[in-house]
Amino acid sequence: MPSPRLIAIDMDGTLLGANSIVSPRNLAALRAAEQAGAEIVIATGRRHCYAMKVLRELNLNPASALVSSNGTVVRTIGAELLHRTLMPLSTARWLCTHLADYRSSLVVTFDAVNAHGDDTRGALVVEHLDTLHASIGGWMRANEPYIAQVQPLEAALEADAPIQMMICGPVDLMRRAETLLLEHEGVFAEGVSPLERIHTAEVALHRTEYAERDLCIVDLLPAGCSKGSAILRHAADRGLEPADILAIGDNWNDVSMLEAAGRAVVMANAPADLKTLAAERGWTIGLSNEEDGVAAAIESALAL
């Protein structure tokens, strides 16, 4: 099999170690892949600005794509906007009502960036602060310059449409919220819901779970948005086929990307049920993020 021409890589739990840093070996592998002619595409649930806090120091090709917010926005590393999908305001308002019992855990995200790709205050809007600080305190502190508290939340949804919404908290609580959402025919879960349901869906649900931290993040995106759809669109724009793609991920929000690729590697630190799915689908289960699993996958692919 020829070497991949596009390598799609998740960030947290995949490219990054527990210290949220790219290891020297992983960075060397990224540079080797670029030198071999492959485009490195980082695909993350993070916003562009939040991802660039890490990626800016890596000096990757500025023309390479960064898929952010789980596929709703694609910019180059150099901040050129390539694609963006907005959630209809009516859908966002409905979600605020439907998730009445989870509003204290709800974050609304807007693509409010300047010319350099940096967020401005109001890129993140919340109604309450205390519950979010209890579950994702580090993230809240890191993003404080961009967070606006608006009560009621609907007041932020009068003019500008968001790119996504998010609820987060303990795993059991978020699984109940996910069940509530999936009871509605307008919500589609990537990799979970029947494929025919996607045709009536207004919202794409993506779950990221960290069992060791008792934390689950449920991202709610405009229908049709996913890491996988963004990667396939970008590959097509580059004249590439799925067979040209290597995808590396560690969590449920990576499934669409893994499905889209000709070759898929799931990290050893992935949730157990995702590794079971990987085995069923013939995906490679690689090393963990603490063992430089990204570098090992790229080195193996480049050696073929």
- Between residues 304 and 100, which one has the greater pLDDT? 100
Give the mean model confidence (pLDDT) for residues 16-41: 96
- At residue 101, the pLDDT reads 95
Tens of pLDDT along 154-169? 999 998 999 999 999 9
Residue 117 lies inside a defined structural domain of this protein? yes
Tens of pLDDT along 225-238? 999 999 999 999 99
Tens of pLDDT along 49-98? 999 999 999 999 999 999 999 999 999 999 999 999 999 999 999 999 99
Residue 119 lies inside a defined structural domain of this protein? yes
Give the mean model confidence (pLDDT) for residues 287-297: 97
Boundary (domain end) residue, out of 222, 240, 255: 222
Q: Are residues 275 and 157 in the same domain?
A: no
Q: Are residues 96 and 212 in the same domain?
A: yes
What are the CB-based long-range contacts (under 8 Å, 24+) for 275-281?
277/191
Give the chain's count of helices (H) and strands (E).
9, 15
Q: Are residues 279 and 254 in the same domain?
A: yes
Boundary (domain end) residue, out of 222, 248, 265: 222
Q: Are residues 146 and 64 in the same domain?
A: no
Q: Are residues 128 and 189 in the same domain?
A: yes
Confidence band of 1 (pLDDT split at 50, 70, 90): low
Q: Are residues 10 and 45 in the same domain?
A: yes
- Give the range of the structural domain holding residue 287, as residue numbers without chain letter: 6-84+227-303
Boundary (domain end) residue, out of 222, 242, 258: 222
**Which of 18, 11, 12, 24 has its CA nearest to residue 295?**
24
Global pTM?
0.87
State which of 175-179, 194-198, 203-207, 222-226 shows the largest mean pLDDT. Answer: 175-179
- Secondary element (H or E) of residue 142: helix 130-142
Residue 74 lies inside a defined structural domain of this protein? yes
Q: Are residues 241 and 298 in the same domain?
A: yes
- At residue 207, the pLDDT reads 87
For residue 153 the two structure tokens come to 């939340």
- At residue 188, the pLDDT reads 86
- At residue 129, the pLDDT reads 95
Confidence band of 192 (pLDDT split at 50, 70, 90): low
Confidence band of 224 (pLDDT split at 50, 70, 90): confident
- At residue 191, the pLDDT reads 60
Is the pLDDT at 246 greater than 60? The verdict is yes
Q: What is the CATH number of the domain that holds 36?
A: 3.40.50.1000
Is the pLDDT at 214 greater than 70? The verdict is yes
46 touches 71 (CB < 8 A)? no
Confidence band of 266 (pLDDT split at 50, 70, 90): very high
210 touches 216 (CB < 8 A)? yes
Is the pLDDT at 197 greater than 80? The verdict is no
Number of domains in the chain: 2
b/e per residue 276-295 (b: at least 16 CB within 10 A): ebbeeeebeebbbbebbbbb
Is the pLDDT at 198 greater than 80? The verdict is no
Is the pLDDT at 223 greater than 70? The verdict is yes
Is the pLDDT at 193 greater than 70? The verdict is no
Q: What are phi and psi of 5, to 5 degrees?
A: -100, -15
Q: What is the CATH number of the domain that holds 188?
A: 3.30.1240.10
Tens of pLDDT along 113-170? 887 788 999 999 999 999 999 999 999 999 999 999 999 999 999 989 999 999 999 9
Is the pLDDT at 216 greater than 60? The verdict is yes
Q: Are residues 231 and 205 in the same domain?
A: no
Q: Are residues 180 and 268 in the same domain?
A: no
- At residue 298, the pLDDT reads 97
